Amino acid sequence: SCPADEFEKFVKEHPDHTVISYVNTTAAVKALTDIVVTSTNAKQIVDSLPKDEKIIFGPDKNLGDYINKLTGRNMLLWQG
């Protein structure tokens, strides 16, 4: 689960991060998001960003962890 108010606090703690969210989330969470991805295009989207870009990925921690492994990134993952 990803309550928008809690996700907003998390995002505000990391203002220098690009926020990527999985498509299967609420409109309120999407409103806090820079890029919305699907499981099919998540790796491609993350790979398209500069390697030094700081990223928050949420709310699907498992997908975020998998994309971290595939891309060698260290995205911050929503733990909620």
pLDDT band, very low/low/confident/very high, at 14 (cuts 50, 70, 90): very high
Q: What is the pLDDT of residue 1?
A: 73
Q: Mean pLDDT over residues 52-61, rounded?
A: 96
Superfamily of domain 1-47: NadA-like (3.40.50.10800)
Q: Mean pLDDT over residues 9-22, rounded?
A: 97
Q: Mean pLDDT over residues 19-42, rounded?
A: 96
User: Is the predicted pLDDT of residue 80 greater than 90, yes or no?
Assistant: no
Instruction: Return left, alpha or beta for 71; rule: phi > 0 is left, psi -120 to 50 is alpha, else beta.
Output: alpha
Q: Cα(64)–Cα(21) distance, rounded to whole angstroms?
A: 9
Task: Say what the pTM is.
Answer: 0.94
